[in-house]
Amino acid sequence: MADKDTEELDDIEIEKKPKKWLLPAVAVVMAAVGAGGGYFLGSSSAEASDEVAAEEGEAGEAGGDGEEAAPEEESADMVVTSLGNFTVNLRDAAGSRMLQMEVAVETPEDLVEKVTARQAALRDAIILLASDFSSVELEGMDGKLRLRDEVQRRVDAVLAPDKVNRVYFTAFVVQ
């Protein structure tokens, strides 16, 4: 009897059809993961989304009928100026953690002399700010982005009414 069952199974042709839904499903999952990753990597804080909203509002106002405004042409070349190495004690319970970092700022070429002249005030502002962070607050990208954003606000305050375009951490070690 077992032989009869196996003979019947041999006579049945099993048709293997490719899973047509598999490729689109994988594509959808990958797109969702990519979009989610871009969202988390692209926005460092609520302030970043506020800045995007403000820029979109300005673009809408400039275009009038929904057209985007043409980007402003920069009249000056940008220059990256190093503010040097910083070593600060972090605000930890044990008091034994340190941050070693190098900071550079991107400015228009005509602002380089002011950055150099105000370097002592800029370094002081950065040291006081960084020493108020704990090692836990600096873990991960969010903590570093928060520190970078705050450094830019402090640098802009020292250089007021001028502003830097961007702050760079060219070295960053927490020990």
**pTM of structure:** 0.57
Q: What is the mean pLDDT of residues 37-59?
A: 45
pLDDT in tens, 96-142: 899 999 999 999 999 999 999 999 999 999 999 999 999 999 999 99
Q: Are 148 and 134 in contact (CB under 8 A)?
A: no
CATH topology of domain 78-174: Tetrahydropterin Synthase; Chain A (3.30.479)
The span from the CA of 140 to the CA of 145, in Å, is 9
Radius of gyration of the chain (CA): 28
Q: Are 2 and 10 in contact (CB under 8 A)?
A: no
Q: What are the residue ranges spanned by the domains of the chain?
A: 22-63, 78-174
